[in-house]
């Protein structure tokens, strides 16, 4: 069976750096505090149980609990997310970040988890490093900690 990673990397001029294609530089800013918190909670939405569980597993296994737990991780509503995924500050005060994954652009479990790993780096860098050096250092750290080893998150699957 062909390794998924070799399939994904089999693009001639693919950039060396991970996931530059995952989410572009976000122009979205923390929304100004308008309206009651209930309204903002609704805007941020609720975590998808399965995605949040993977977030927690990633946090435990590869960040040793360093990621904040008050992060919303969910699928984007149709039209809400143009890229594969994104990380933004939460609008409500109870949560820190909202990670969105775009179902249309996440056809496999492998892409889902690679994207989620990518977005967790935006969380740990507090959105301060848009795929720059600090981002790469974290990517390397996750690599060293085994996140991209075969079977690290899904049995038999190597993430890229
Ligand atoms: Zn990104």
SS3 state of residue 86: strand
Q: Could you state, in chain order, the average pLDDT of each consecutive group of 10 residues for the chain (160 residues)?
A: 36 41 53 64 92 98 97 96 96 96 95 96 95 96 94 85
Assigned fold of 38-144: Zincin-like (3.30.2010)
The predicted pLDDT at position 15 comes to 42
Q: What is the pLDDT of residue 50?
A: 97
**Ligand 1 mean position, distance from CA 21 (Å):** 8
Q: How far is the CA of 101 from the centre of ligand 1 (A)?
A: 12
Q: In the chain, what are the domain boundaries?
A: 38-144
Instruction: Provide the mean pLDDT of the chain.
Output: 83
pLDDT value, residue 6:
34
Query: Distance, CA 39 to ligand 1 centroid (Å)?
Result: 27
Q: Output the CA 57–ligand 1 centroid distance in Å.
A: 20
For residue 63, the CA-to-ligand 1 centroid distance in Å is 17
- DSSP secondary structure, 32-73, as one string: P--S-HHHHHHHH----HHHHHHHHHHHHHHSTT-S-S-EEE
């Amino acid at each position: 069976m062909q390794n998924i990673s070799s399939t994904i990397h089999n693009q001639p001029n693919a950039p060396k750096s991970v996931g530059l294609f995952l989410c572009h530089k976000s122009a979205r800013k923390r929304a100004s505090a308008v309206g009651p918190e209930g309204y903002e909670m609704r805007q941020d939405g609720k975590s998808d149980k399965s995605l949040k569980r993977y977030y927690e597993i990633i946090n435990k296994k590869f960040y040793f609990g360093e990621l904040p737990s008050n992060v919303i991780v969910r699928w984007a509503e149709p039209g809400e997310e143009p890229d594969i995924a994104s990380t933004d500050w939460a609008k409500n005060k109870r949560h820190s970040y909202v990670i969105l994954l775009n179902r249309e652009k996440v056809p496999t479990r492998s892409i889902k988890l690679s994207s989620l790993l990518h977005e967790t780096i935006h969380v740990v860098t507090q959105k301060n490093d848009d795929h720059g050096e600090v981002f790469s250092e974290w990517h390397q750290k996750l690599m060293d900690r085994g996140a991209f080893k075969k079977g690290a998150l899904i049995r038999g699957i190597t993430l890229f």
